[in-house]
Amino acid sequence: MTIGIWILGDQLSMEQAALQQAAQSHKAPVILIESSRHVKERPYHRQKLILVWSAMRHFAQELRQAGWEVSYELAAEFEPTLREWVKQQKITELRVMQPSDRPFGQLIAKLDLPCKITLLPNNLFLWSHDEFSNWAKGRKNLLMEYFYREGRQRYDVLMQGKKPIGGQWNLDKENRKPPKAQLDTPEPLWFTPDDITQNVIEYVKVNDFSTYGEAESFRWGVTRTQALAVLDSFIRVRLPMFGPYQDAMVTDEETMWHAMLSPYLNLGLLHPLEVIRAAEQAYYDHDLPLNSVEGFIRQVLGWREYMQGLYHHVSGDYPQRNWFEHQQPLPKFFWDAEQTQMNCLHQTLKQVESIAYVHHIQRLMVLSNFALIAGISPQEIESWFHSAFIDAYDWVMQTNVIGMGQFADGGILASKPYAASANYINKMSDYCKACTYKPSQRTGEQACPFNFFYWDFLDRHRAKLTSQGRMNFMLNNLDKMPEAELIQIRQQAAAWHKTSSGA
């Protein structure tokens, strides 16, 4: 029997299950494949392609240095390349670690290869699919908070016996400061591309794999060593202040105190437990503020694990859900920031073009919120997020965009839609000060589109939102609005969709 190992582009860990099983002998041949057809399925941000391919090429090099026999192939399709390699190497069993993304699992299931294919459980997350399903079984609601508490106990993180350190599980209330004062934010840790990365940058440009995003300004890490350096720098420099301004947005502040670890976690370059333990240890060693440490650990141990668990738990039609029946096409400015005068969207989209990253609140309360209240198709906005972000994969996209951002699942994940008017953006950012539109106006030429769309959204979906329960306060405010103003709001929202792309 000859075993071969196929490593997927987001499984770049020496500890991943397929490599781990064969690690004793280092005998199994290994293959990594860059498929050009696969990446043409959507207009990926150029930096996403550069990140994944450069990280794969670096990982192949590290495997060779560790004694593995590695084939690295640039190909159009996976199947013919695998078939050829299996024949050449006389492989009888191909081992692959279970992909995180369901579409990739389907691709593997359809492969026609002259050998047995064995899928090994994915060990790059803490919770297996079965463990999540057991947790979810029989529960009336699947709120993240309860899952998170279970995770804290299970992995004994920030615990004092059976109680959370500090007496409270969740200190989120302390982490919503608006950016009123002058903030002294730390520089993120970036890297100069080495020869391998530079070659990939040229390869992506010459082959015209994508039309979106800037390639030249690529500064992401591409190896485990660099990912560990980002983790170390985050823990030392950023974690102490991670909490208070977690939701704040400031012009030209690309990252605030956010971790910028998602690209590395999602590629397998870092394991979630080592990230959690590093933050917890820093709390004990350096007496860091609990709201920052707990707030960060909740993101990784709570939200990240919950999102992947839920993704595998829900039924296969989840990506097509559309509870509000939203059908508007995605405005063109999502692909070109220069085409919108809405400053919050302009600033956020400009940054996505430049580094394929903005932080959580920009994703949720600017980009996704706009799509939700403007009635954009959830599938179109999901597809855009998947293309545009450095850390996007199907598993993280469906639950975050279809579920959390668009409430298109009708409330499996969120207890109410994340819909907000300009009030929220004006409070949590400095964007409105430099905007053509007025955050205080609901109608008229200078009215902020977030305002008329927000009230139009409540009006259009009054019945569904009433049945859902948690929006009653805002629906009562809607009831108090003069009829003439409501008519104007409806007209202005409808007119916006008819004018070009809503610039």
- Contact residues toward ligand FAD (CB under 6 A) are 258-262, 265-266, 299-300, 303-304, 307, 359-360, 363-364, 368, 385, 389, 391-392, 396-397, 400-401, 404-405
343: contact with ligand SF4 by CB under 6 A: yes
Matching residue, tokens 């499984």: 11
Tell me which of ligand SF4, ligand FAD, none is bound by residue 346, counting a contact when its beta carbon lies within the kind-specific cut-off of 5 to 8 angstroms.
none
Tell me which of ligand FAD, ligand SF4, none is bound by residue 342, counting a contact when its beta carbon lies within the kind-specific cut-off of 5 to 8 angstroms.
ligand SF4
Distance of CA 190 to the CA centre of its chain: 20
Matching residue, tokens 């998170």: 148
Interstrand relation of 70-75 and 93-97 (parallel, antiparallel or unpaired)? unpaired
| Contact map string, positions 290 to 329, toward ligand SF4, x by CB under 6 A | ----------------------------------------
Nearer to ligand FAD by Cβ, of 108 and 300: the residue is: 300
Nearer to ligand FAD by Cβ, of 38 and 360: the residue is: 360
Tell me which of ligand FAD, ligand SF4, none is bound by residue 391, counting a contact when its beta carbon lies within the kind-specific cut-off of 5 to 8 angstroms.
ligand FAD
Give the one residue of 450, 452, 454, 455 binding ligand SF4; rule: CB under 6 A.
Answer: 450
Helix-strand-coil split of the chain, %, nearest 5: 50, 10, 40
Least separation in angstroms between CB 151 and ligand FAD: 13
342: contact with ligand SF4 by CB under 6 A: yes
Q: Where are the alpha helices (DSSP H) in 124-270?
A: 129-136, 144-154, 195-206, 224-233, 262-267
CB burial readout 224-256, b (16+ within 10 A) else e: bebbbebbebbbeebbbbbbbbbbbbbeebbbb
Nearer to ligand FAD by Cβ, of 391 and 430: the residue is: 391
Least separation in angstroms between CB 251 and ligand SF4: 10
Tell me which of ligand FAD, ligand SF4, none is bound by residue 291, counting a contact when its beta carbon lies within the kind-specific cut-off of 5 to 8 angstroms.
none
Least separation in angstroms between CB 375 and ligand SF4: 17
448: contact with ligand SF4 by CB under 6 A: yes
Count other Cβ atoms within 10 Å, centred on residue 36: 14
E strand or H helix that includes residue 466: helix 462-468
Least separation in angstroms between CB 360 and ligand FAD: 4
Tell me which of ligand SF4, ligand FAD, none is bound by residue 282, counting a contact when its beta carbon lies within the kind-specific cut-off of 5 to 8 angstroms.
none
Closest CA to 340 of 431, 217, 255, 426: 431
One-letter identity of residue 461: H
Q: How far apart are CA 232 and CA 194, in angstroms?
A: 21
Q: What is the DSSP string of 57-89?
A: HHHHHHHHHTT--EEEEEES-HHHHHHHHHHHH
Nearer to ligand FAD by Cβ, of 304 and 442: the residue is: 304
φ and ψ at residue 29, rounded to 5 degrees: -70, 150
Closest CA to 10 of 387, 391, 401: 391
369: contact with ligand SF4 by CB under 6 A: no
Least separation in angstroms between CB 397 and ligand FAD: 6
Tell me which of ligand SF4, ligand FAD, none is bound by residue 96, counting a contact when its beta carbon lies within the kind-specific cut-off of 5 to 8 angstroms.
none
Q: Hey, which residues does 159 pair with through a beta bridge?
A: 164
Using CB under 6 A as the binding criterion, the count of chain residues that bind ligand SF4 stands at 14
Q: How far apart are CA 263 and CA 357, in angstroms?
A: 9
Least separation in angstroms between CB 80 and ligand FAD: 30
Tell me which of ligand SF4, ligand FAD, none is bound by residue 259, counting a contact when its beta carbon lies within the kind-specific cut-off of 5 to 8 angstroms.
ligand FAD
344: contact with ligand SF4 by CB under 6 A: yes
Q: How far apart are CA 232 and CA 64, in angstroms?
A: 27
Tell me which of ligand FAD, ligand SF4, none is bound by residue 270, counting a contact when its beta carbon lies within the kind-specific cut-off of 5 to 8 angstroms.
none
Least separation in angstroms between CB 121 and ligand SF4: 45
Tell me which of ligand SF4, ligand FAD, none is bound by residue 422, counting a contact when its beta carbon lies within the kind-specific cut-off of 5 to 8 angstroms.
ligand SF4
Q: Where are the alpha helices (DSSP H) in 214-363?
A: 224-233, 262-267, 272-286, 290-297, 305-313, 343-355, 360-361
E strand or H helix that includes residue 118: strand 116-120
Nearer to ligand FAD by Cβ, of 291 and 368: the residue is: 368
Closest CA to 301 of 100, 162, 151: 151
Binders of ligand SF4 among 403-442, rule CB under 6 A?
422, 425-426, 431-432, 435, 437, 439
Tell me which of ligand SF4, ligand FAD, none is bound by residue 396, counting a contact when its beta carbon lies within the kind-specific cut-off of 5 to 8 angstroms.
ligand FAD
Tell me which of ligand SF4, ligand FAD, none is bound by residue 437, counting a contact when its beta carbon lies within the kind-specific cut-off of 5 to 8 angstroms.
ligand SF4
Q: How far apart are CA 163 and CA 388, in angstroms?
A: 41
Computed over its alpha carbons, how large is the radius of gyration of the chain? 24
Nearer to ligand FAD by Cβ, of 28 and 230: the residue is: 230
φ and ψ at residue 345, rounded to 5 degrees: -70, -40
Least separation in angstroms between CB 182 and ligand SF4: 20
Tell me which of ligand FAD, ligand SF4, none is bound by residue 448, counting a contact when its beta carbon lies within the kind-specific cut-off of 5 to 8 angstroms.
ligand SF4
**What residue ranges bind ligand SF4 (CB under 6 A)?**
342-344, 422, 425-426, 431-432, 435, 437, 439, 448-450
